[in-house]
Amino acid sequence: MDIGTAILIIGFAALVAAFLLLVIGLVYSELMNSDIPRGVANRGKLHMVHGLFVGIAIVGRILHRLSICHQISFIRWFVACFLTRLNPVPAGLRVKNLKFSEVPVRVYEPTTVCDGLRRGLVYFHGGGWVLDNLDSVDEVCRHIAKESDTTVVSVSYRLAPEHRYPAQLDDCETATCHFLSVAEAEFSVDSRRVAVGGDSTGANLAAALCQRLARREIGHLPFPCAQVLIYPALQMADFNLPSYQQNHAVPILFRTRMAFYFLQYLNGDMSVCQDVLEGIHVPNELKPSYEEWLSPSNLPPEFLARGYDKHPTPEYDGVVYHAIKAGLEHEVSPLLADNAVIQKTPPTFILTCEYDILRDDGILYRKRLLDLGKDVTWRHVTGGFHGMINFFNQGWLKFPSAVEVVDSVVDYMKTL
């Protein structure tokens, strides 16, 4: 080996070492900003998983700044290649990749003998309208389909930042209406027993879709028989609710990250992120209604026990409002819809987690539904955190509490 080659090798090794030290330092810094309460189930594993995701995000950020690839593209690639496990299809289940009116879907059909028509579930994955795909919830949909004897349709809607609102909701509507129109003829499913559901921002899409269909009152198709909302994101008016304060730094969803996802969904204007977190985007004329619906006094007392400071009323900024105006409409913030719209929604299953910034969104939506005399089934996971469902049956990444979440959905589906 000549001297020049040796120098190149040493230089490359030094560059790699410097890069690794930079990543390790940044990961450590981010981990110091996290706060995992003692009540969280499997705290040690969550620390480890959080560190892994932080490392992926940091490497993606570095590659983005070097103009090698977009940070989000790198995260999608890494998770798909290294953190998502697709197992062989189990006996008793048939899985098919199809397109419903050009929207990609994956259909899970039980193969056991059924007397009459089956029930159905159209499922929308989470991921902040930015991440995840059909594979991310494959194990979840398999389990629900097989254990509840339900035909499940998982929808691959378009993602931000490539596609902004309302593309995601439009795709969910298209796929759902297509399935409702062919459910009996092509899948032996009773179209009057088809629910819609999802996790996190997928639950947002499910709730928004039910409200959209209710407003349009499309008579030629059955209305969804239920909405299944797993730790749903339901409003972007108030990022200072008790659950946002108590769990602002609990992985895997931080308070600032939720605002980031909402803005990516809408238009990608991150310049107003801090303004939205402070609440200066809410017009004065809307504040009375929002304060009534979002008041911490609507929460059961036990959810205030870990502390809550009343956020001072911020001064309204019209420029910020017009930048995110669509985010306060019911198709992005279903919790903020008028009573007349919510009154038309179907029976609801809501699951919340104690250590989740979105906990109060689900509980407050339950309160609005109950106040209007609607049928609500609520399940609360006391040791749960946001995103648990993504780790269901994922090898070394799995969390036992994720089984509790998915099985609660199975139990509810059996009642439809």
The residue annotated as part of the active site, out of 138, 190, 238, 356, is: 356
- CA 81 to CA 325: how far, in whole Å? 37
> Radius of gyration (Cα) for the chain, nearest Å?
22
The token duo for 128 is 């902040």
The token duo for 380 is 């609360």
Q: Is 190 a catalytic residue?
A: no
> What contacts 41, CB < 8 A, 6 or more positions away?
383, 384, 385, 399, 400, 401
The residue annotated as part of the active site, out of 178, 275, 386, 408, is: 386
Q: Is 386 a catalytic residue?
A: yes
The token duo for 351 is 């699951």
Nearest CA-CA partner of 23 in 44, 3, 50, 52:
52
- State in Å, rounded, how far the first CA of the chain is from the last one: 73
Nearest CA-CA partner of 360 in 208, 232, 206, 200:
232
Q: Is 188 a catalytic residue?
A: no
Cis before 280? omega within 30 = no
The residue annotated as part of the active site, out of 200, 333, 401, 408, is: 200
With H, G, I as helix, E, B as strand and everything else as coil, classify residue 129: coil
Residue with tokens 């953190």: 83
- CA 49 to CA 54: how far, in whole Å? 9
Active site residues: 200, 356, 386
